[in-house]
């Protein structure tokens, strides 16, 4: 005989509790082996610790940390830093960057304002020129983005701006020897 399906029937309540307990136990039984996946870390990556051989722990000998395939980030290229400070929320500081021609550059952009920004480089004197590279749109403070690209082979002045504030936030990448 089946128990009556009533919340007031003690047999029915016991059956529900037993089923819930079995499901809970089954769900926890495999937890010791781990879920088989992990969450990506949020926020900046902590600096790598150096191993006795001088290379960062966890990276192959002779391969810099954080650079796939063993090519150094910014080397033999150039590292450039740009920010939008909280006290100048519609500006790039600095607004003029310099790099040699045909060089791999890594640009770190820090948005320390409470406004949405990015930095977008173009292969010419204005935003009508082909795009070279752009960071994602981020809201600060403390929002750090980075991008890497090879500077144009021809020396000259190349335009960059914020896609959200293209008239107010502009700058120049001077490519030359």
Q: What is the pLDDT of residues 107-125, one digit of tens each?
A: 999 999 999 999 999 999 9
pTM of the model: 0.57
Q: Is residue 37 part of a domain?
A: no
- pLDDT tens digit sequence for 91-112: 999 999 999 999 999 999 999 9
Number of domains the chain is built from: 1
Burial classification of residue 84, based on how many CB atoms lie within 10 Å of its CB (0-12 exposed, 13-18 middle, 19 or more buried): buried
Better-scored residue on pLDDT, 135 or 30 = 135
Q: Is residue 12 part of a domain?
A: no
Its domain, for residue 91, covers 74-175
Q: Is residue 131 part of a domain?
A: yes
Q: Is residue 27 part of a domain?
A: no
- pLDDT tens digit sequence for 26-36: 444 444 443 44
Q: Is residue 50 part of a domain?
A: no
Match 């090519």 to its residue by tokens.
71
CATH number at residue 80: 2.60.40.420
- pLDDT tens digit sequence for 9-19: 566 545 554 55
């Amino acid at each position: 005989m089946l128990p009556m399906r009533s919340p007031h029937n003690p047999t029915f309540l016991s059956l529900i509790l037993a089923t819930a307990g079995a499901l809970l136990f089954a769900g926890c039984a495999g937890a010791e082996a781990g879920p088989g996946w992990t969450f990506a870390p949020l926020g900046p990556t902590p600096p790598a610790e150096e191993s006795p051989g001088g290379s960062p722990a966890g990276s192959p000998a002779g391969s810099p940390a954080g650079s796939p395939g063993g090519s150094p980030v910014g080397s033999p290229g150039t590292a450039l830093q740009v920010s939008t400070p909280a006290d100048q929320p519609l500006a790039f500081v600095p607004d003029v960057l310099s790099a040699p021609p045909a060089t791999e550059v890594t640009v770190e952009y820090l948005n320390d304002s409470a406004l949405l920004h990015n930095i977008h480089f173009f292969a010419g004197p204005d935003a009508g020129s082909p795009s070279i590279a752009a960071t994602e749109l981020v809201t600060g403070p403390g929002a750090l983005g980075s991008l890497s690209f090879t500077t144009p082979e021809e020396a000259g002045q190349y335009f960059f701006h914020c896609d959200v504030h293209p008239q107010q936030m502009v700058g120049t990448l001077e490519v030359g020897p």
